[in-house]
Structures are given as C-alpha cells and as structure tokens.
Structure 1
Amino acid sequence: HPETAEAVQAIERLRGSIDNVDTAIVMLLAERFKYTEEVGRWKAQAGFAPADAEREHRQVARLRALAEQAGLDPDIAEGYHAFVVGESKTRHQRIADAS
C-alpha cells in the first residue's frame, strides 16, 4: 500500500532526525560535564560547598522560561536540570573528598 510505504519513509526520516538530535545532546552533555568538573576542582580548591542552592534556583527559573519560549513543557526542562545538577553535585563531592 502506498500509504503504508509513505508512513514507513516518514517514520524513518523522523527517526534519523531524532538520532541526530540525540547525538548532539550527548556531545553537549559531555562538554557541559567537562566544565562542571573544572568548577568542581575550583570549588574544592577554594573550600566551597559542592552545592549552590541560590544558583540552582536561578537556573531552574531560567530553564523553565527558555522551555516556555521554545514550546517545551517547563517540567521537562526542570527534570533535565535536576539530572545534570544532581550528577554535577555527586562529581563535585567526589572531587572535594579526594582533595
């Protein structure tokens, strides 16, 4: 059926785009965590706490606003933030413990 073939082609094309976006996200996350590792080293060297609640609150508000502008559910942006900040804190604590 031509309709089925068209649907299969559209799905394959869209999945290719999804794969490209996933690749970009992983590359950007790798870059982001390189920066947070460096922040963690500076914090440990200066004796700062691994967490910065004030910055976290500002970042959540900023990301929620960006999500709204982009047409993304702000809860998704907040969930992303929770993931990356949680991982960053864990890494910062490991760096502090090793210092």
Structure 2
Amino acid sequence: MTMKLDHLRQQIDEIDHELVALLAKRFQITEEVGKYKAAHCLQAQDPGREALQFKKIEELAKLSGLHAGNAAAIFRCIMDQVIARHEELRSERVSS
C-alpha cells in the first residue's frame, strides 16, 4: 500500500515541477506584456481579454475533465498576480 502512495506522490512531484516551469515561462511573457503596457500607457487590467480567457479556460477545463470552477479559481489567482505586477511596472514608469 505504501509503495502505491509513494508512486502517486512521485507523480505529483513531477507534475509540480512541470507546472512551476510553465508558470515561470508564462510570467516571463506577461512581464514583457506589462512592460509594453507601461511604455504605451495602457491599463494593467483588460476586462475584455480576461472574459475571453476565462471562457477559453472553462472550455479547456471541460475538455480535460477538470472542474471549470477550479480552473477559473487557479487562473484568477495567476491573473491577479500578473495585474499587480503590471500595476507596479506602470507606477515605476510614471515615477521615473
């Protein structure tokens, strides 16, 4: 029984590694988006884009067998972090 649990946990650890690597990539790209927005005096948050993203996330979740509400909650957290960073970049630009 313990070997099965250990194997499952090992699989989770491997997936966590992949998730962190993907998040790092995503945040590198969103950093560039934030710099672009700051340089062009664009708002940190784009409600229209968010609505489209959440619709797409819901569809992808359903196709993958993931509860759409769970996927939305995870992506809301990710997007909130990105928006906060974009606001920082805009403030830094305005301050300098």
TM-score class, shorter-chain normalisation, is: over 0.9
Give the length in aligned residue pairs. 93
Q: Secondary structure of 1:50's match?
A: coil
Q: Does 1:39 align with 2:33?
A: yes
Residue segments in structure 2 that go unaligned for 5+ positions in a row: none
Q: Does 1:54 align with 2:48?
A: yes
Please identify the structure whose Cα radius of gyration is greater: 1
Q: Partner letter of residue 92 of structure 1?
A: H
Number of the residue aligned with 1:74: 68
Q: Secondary structure of 1:72's match?
A: coil
Identity of aligned residues (%): 31
Q: Secondary structure of 1:79's match?
A: helix
TM-score after normalising by structure 1: 0.92
Residue segments in structure 1 that go unaligned for 5+ positions in a row: 1-6
Q: Structure 1 residue 80: deviation in Å? A: 1.3
Q: Does 1:87 align with 2:81?
A: yes
TM-score after normalising by structure 2: 0.95
Q: Partner letter of residue 13 of structure 2?
A: D
Q: Partner letter of residue 95 of structure 1?
A: L
> Which aligned segments of 4 or more residues in structure 1 are displaced greater than 6 angstroms?
none
Q: CA RMSD in A?
A: 0.5
